[in-house]
Structure 1
Amino acid sequence: MRVDSDLCEMRGVLKGRLADWVSSRFPGGTSPQWWLSIFESLEVSASPFREVTPERRADDLNLAEEAILLAVKLGGVRAAVGAYWMLRIAALALRFDPPLVGLPQILTPDGSAGWALQQIPLTRERAIAESETRRVEHLNAGEGFYAPVGGEVTPASEVAFSGLQDVELILSALPWVCPHLKDKGIESEVRSWMEIRGSL
């Protein structure tokens, strides 16, 4: 499988040289699906249920962190998707006792939450306003708003995601690290977002 062979190669790339490998491997650019497959494969590889050494597990989590940051930088995935996955990988790292050695700050609860907060594209006020607009649009939608039952649907050539959807994606992942936050500023900001989550 191509993703498996790509992952094997990526494990051999020196830290900081992943961007060079990606541009060489994919001169025409990568797809979001490829990046997500890499993230998922690394998550599975580092799972507590896999019989691997702590060192190998830490290496895979470090590679996941580097891949996520690179994917966002290159536009391979949206920043919100990167934030979701960073929180997911940080939550995975919390499952090991004793803790894994050599993980970057961004894979701590405070580090992942702080970075995720920076990727939120809207203010809380704007998110609430857009949520209300969406609610009104759905309530007032006519027949043409919905796909016909049993009819043909022509998929869009490119799917557009709203800022509100990105907010909701990040907020869905923040609870995974919330109980472990130590930085009071980050904890306060996360709590403020969590308070409006039910209103969106």
Structure 2
Amino acid sequence: MGVESDLREIRRIPVDGISDWIRRRFPDGSFPQWWLAVFESLETSVSPLRDVAASRRRGDFELSVEVARLAVDIGGIRPPMGAYWILRLAAIALRFDPPVVGLPELLMPDGAAELALNRMPLSRERAIAASETRKAEYLAAGDDFYAPVGSKFSVSSEVDVRFSALQEVELILSALPWVSSAVTSKETSRNIDAWLEIRDRL
């Protein structure tokens, strides 16, 4: 079965039954690429450019939120990536005029931004420090830092985790501006501004 046929099946079952369906579909475990393909298909289906019934669009928004949640819980997607997906959906929702009625709170600018801020894998101070370390290591790198073409190489898990966390911070920061101007909470807006102020230092 392909992603589109999977998605047709998923649409026919209650949202709270999707998790069980996924486990039956992938008894040995699902994989991130499948979740990404499903998410991208749903993201296309909720586009303002698609002429679909309001109830279908709202249902696909709700389904997309559940996909983003389950992808983190059982699909091997890290929480910052899930938050990034939610920010993408919230940004799409903002393009509708009049707004789509009855969307989940997570797809409101405040809900999406708060989720993203809570899923930052590093503090601002640690993100700046990791960025400075990354820059210093690149500047000091000799020829042995780069893997010769066609050869195998390994990356230290410590460096990999440190830099992947920084990349996750950068991913979220790339998406926060999509909803920041529509956030109503002053505290959330202050937190977003504090993060965006350091973006050029990363």
Tell me: CA distance 1:153–1:100, structure 2 relative to 1, closer, same or farther (3 Å): farther
Contact 1:83 1:116 in 2 (8 A): yes
**What is the TM-score normalised by the length of structure 2?**
0.92
Match of 1:27? 27
Match of 1:8? 8
- Report deviation, 1:185: 1.0
Q: CA RMSD in A?
A: 1.7
Unpaired stretches in structure 2, ≥5 consecutive residues: none
Aligned with 1:154 (options 124, 149, 152): 152
Unpaired stretches in structure 1, ≥5 consecutive residues: none
Matches within 5 A, 1:20-169: 20-148=20-148, 151-154=149-152, 160=160, 162-169=164-171
The amino acid across from 1:131 in the alignment is S
The amino acid across from 2:127 in the alignment is A
The amino acid across from 1:4 in the alignment is E
- Report deviation, 1:26: 0.8
- Write the distance in 2 (CA, Å) between the matches of 1:88 and 1:147: 35
- Write the distance in 2 (CA, Å) between the matches of 1:14 and 1:194: 39
Aligned with 1:188 (options 187, 190, 198): 190
Q: Percent of counterpart pairs with the same letter?
A: 53
The amino acid across from 2:152 in the alignment is T
- Write the distance in 2 (CA, Å) between the matches of 1:170 and 1:81: 8
Tell me: CA distance 1:195–1:155, structure 2 relative to 1, closer, same or farther (3 Å): same
Aligned residue pairs, count:
197
The amino acid across from 2:150 in the alignment is E
SS of corresponding position for 1:37: helix
- Report deviation, 1:10: 0.9
